[in-house]
Amino acid sequence: MKSVIADSRLDLELRKEPKQARARQTYEKILEATAVLLDEVGLDGVNTNLVAERADVNISAVYKYFPNKYAILSTLAVRLNDKQTEIVLDYVTKLAEPISWQDMMSGLIDTMIKGTRHEKGLIALQSAMLATPGLKEIYRKSNDDVAKVILKALEKCEISLPANKRKLIGSCIGEIVPTMLDFSVSKGKRYDSKIIEELKRMQIGYISTYLDGKYKI
């Protein structure tokens, strides 16, 4: 998957897309090796030579597709963010029986965690997205995509939020959820359950402030 986000200080563009099966295999080995190394040595410890060594490919194969390690991280970030969006969308789509919006929000957060908690390089990659210009743009876009799905899920639960504030509410939800999820892994845990419970309380409490009086369905 090609990252289309660029930054003036970092080249995050793929040099080329792999077309043939063998090229695709090499490409995937590079991404897999980078994700594993992120867990082992962290962002600062990863470099293209180490990636090539771990992937068991020539360094020229790495540079054939990626100009630097940040371009590899960009591709991994896009994949992770796409997966998170798909997980949320799939959860909302499969809500077959009536459910309270509170249970929906709680279940949605649990589903996001279940679907990503075992991703290789997760903690280091999330930190890199927050700290690296260009990668942060990918992070923000993912937040917006997830927020749009959450707003549609609330509509499915018959919750109507004020139209003139929907974009703002969505932006706040989109920022809070990933930030709290990042915070929950900040000590090297895959997710801290106590922080997750606080995240649920924050989201449910925040949305509740718009459901009094004329905004309640």
Residue 61 structure tokens: 């194969």
Is residue 14 within 8 A of residue 2, CB to CB? The reply is yes
Q: Which domain holds residue 164?
A: 74-215
Q: Is residue 28 part of a domain?
A: no
Tens of pLDDT along the chain (217 residues) come to: 443 334 445 677 778 888 899 999 999 999 999 999 998 998 889 999 999 999 999 999 999 999 999 999 999 988 888 888 898 889 888 887 778 899 999 998 999 888 888 888 877 887 788 777 778 888 888 888 888 888 888 888 888 888 888 889 988 988 888 888 888 877 777 789 999 999 999 999 999 988 865 444 3
Number of domains comprising the chain: 1
**Does residue 119 sit within a domain?**
yes
- Is 81 a member of any domain? yes
In a domain, 20, yes or no: no
Calpha distance 179→186 (Å, rounded): 10
Secondary structure element (H or E) that encloses residue 174, with its range: helix 166-184
